[in-house]
Structure 1
């Protein structure tokens, strides 16, 4: 991968994390009035409709049968596991705490890239990833709830998300990103429908909840699209650490929507996350220059 490609992938990752937090925040607000699976279905209907409209507008309808590609379906199933685990815990754990636990995902991505794709990791990069995790924990400062059974769902989210991201490069080249996104969104909507029919008694949603799920659906489309592109145009070892910015976005959401003010430890954690990410960029740049000199 070239340096410009990695920089674009990093930017896509940072923005993707921001819009995912927006979607999760809408879900957390709506969970006060409606059951989980019904909200997943409402969000799914909004996101599927938006994505399908974009596919039509961009003339990609002919590619729609490719949504059943085995790698796309596999990514979708893993996303269902990750999303369901996260949203199930969202009603019981603060969004910043939950996000901090889920931030072990980049470590699993990097370890998986080393184990299954032979991407070099190195002790320094591993140290920086661990430093980023420490920073993320300082930002969210998980309390006693982190030991609960619900906190375990966040680790399931991290592992499933890492497996999803590692699977992305196996998707056939030339697959339209919107079609890949559509597969994930359809599976999430179907999960909401099945779960609602089996486990819940539907309630009449209010206007506020409908608007929240419409926004959650729109940001969900943007997030999945950007995340897919991130791992198609960038190296996993370079872009994965920037998933830590999810914690920063979550703290900002908590501050704006729920009145949670970050303390000195949280600010220190944000600095550690940023420094770890910048150091990895610097290491990759130095390694590329060394490789170029050796090749010359």
Structure 2
């Protein structure tokens, strides 16, 4: 999960840089095509071509459509909002995954986890700073990103276990590419990006493929309540990207909100580990 977050932040940073040279959906299309080509190459190289028909499994397609919603809302806001701020808001995703696992699967949370979840959401609101202007409105798209991404991750265990992670990744990438194509045709006038922007999108496509593959594998290998909190490493990656790539420094309220979101996530990890240790001690 930590590796997935780092690669996805780097991919989004490439897109944010390229947005100065080409429109949103066209960049999504280019990034998606690169990622699909790389993923298909890996599938063929690994001898998994026989699984290609499973790309259209209903659960995989549902994950891909939700990822498209998350990606469009995040990338649209990325042109206006600091990457660290937007990422911190989207970091409510693990909290929503935990809530969803409680509501839909009956996974036990307990009062402490529920309090920590709402503290994390409060921290995200501190980062978004509702009512502070147009930027705040765009920052609110981060919550849509979080909701869509949480639903995507909650669907992951429904995917048959024998489906290759590369096939699952390909479905997401195809949905993202299709979204970029539809958006380009419907809302944008295509332009020819400069060479540097194209290179950034090639890199973004490769990183996007790797990030989605790692994300899928994380949720297949571990329980949602254990894996999801490690998504908070995304905030660290995003702050570093904002500082060193874009020269963005969050304001004091946003920094406090980021800290609250991260601390809530870390506290959930600690609570989970503590309860597991107690359970093992009782068994022994």
Q: For residue 23 of structure 2, what is the aligned residue in structure 1?
A: 35
Question: Normalised by the size of structure 2, how large is the TM-score?
Answer: 0.90
Q: For residue 242 of structure 1, what is the aligned residue in structure 2?
A: 230
The alpha carbon displacement at 1:200 in A equals 1.1
Which moves more between the two structures, 237-246 or 106-115? 237-246
C-alpha distance in 1 between matches for 2:51 and 2:241: 37
Q: For residue 158 of structure 2, what is the aligned residue in structure 1?
A: 170
Give 1:159's match in structure 2, choosing from 147, 167, 170: 147
Q: For residue 77 of structure 1, what is the aligned residue in structure 2?
A: 65
Question: Normalised by the size of structure 1, how large is the TM-score?
Answer: 0.87
The alpha carbon displacement at 1:20 in A equals 1.0
Which moves more between the two structures, 57-66 or 161-170? 57-66
Matched, 1:121 2:109: yes
CA pair 79-293 structure 1, distance change in 2 beyond 3 A: same
The alpha carbon displacement at 1:219 in A equals 0.8
Gaps in structure 2 of 5+ consecutive residues = none
Q: For residue 103 of structure 1, what is the aligned residue in structure 2?
A: 91
Preserved contact between residue 129 and residue 136 of structure 2 (Cα < 8 Å): no
Preserved contact between residue 136 and residue 244 of structure 1 (Cα < 8 Å): no
The correspondence of residues 214-253 of structure 1 with structure 2, limited to 5 A, is 214-253=202-241
CA pair 142-17 structure 1, distance change in 2 beyond 3 A: farther
The alpha carbon displacement at 1:91 in A equals 0.9
1:113-143 C-alpha deviation (Å, 9 max, x unpaired): 00001111112223334455566677x6758
The correspondence of residues 190-269 of structure 1 with structure 2, limited to 5 A, is 190-261=178-249
The alpha carbon displacement at 1:291 in A equals 2.9
The root-mean-square deviation of aligned C-alpha atoms, in Å, is 2.3
Gaps in structure 1 of 5+ consecutive residues = 1-12
The correspondence of residues 120-159 of structure 1 with structure 2, limited to 5 A, is 120-133=108-121, 144-145=132-133, 148-159=136-147
The alpha carbon displacement at 1:28 in A equals 0.7
Matched, 1:181 2:169: yes
The alpha carbon displacement at 1:151 in A equals 2.5
Aligned to 2:107, the other structure's residue is in SS state coil
The alpha carbon displacement at 1:47 in A equals 0.5
C-alpha distance in 1 between matches for 2:29 and 2:251: 37
C-alpha distance in 2 between matches for 1:119 and 1:246: 24
CA pair 274-149 structure 1, distance change in 2 beyond 3 A: closer
Aligned to 1:259, the other structure's residue is in SS state coil
C-alpha distance in 1 between matches for 2:14 and 2:133: 22
Q: For residue 4 of structure 1, what is the aligned residue in structure 2?
A: none
C-alpha distance in 2 between matches for 1:272 and 1:190: 37
C-alpha distance in 1 between matches for 2:29 and 2:41: 18
C-alpha distance in 2 between matches for 1:111 and 1:186: 29
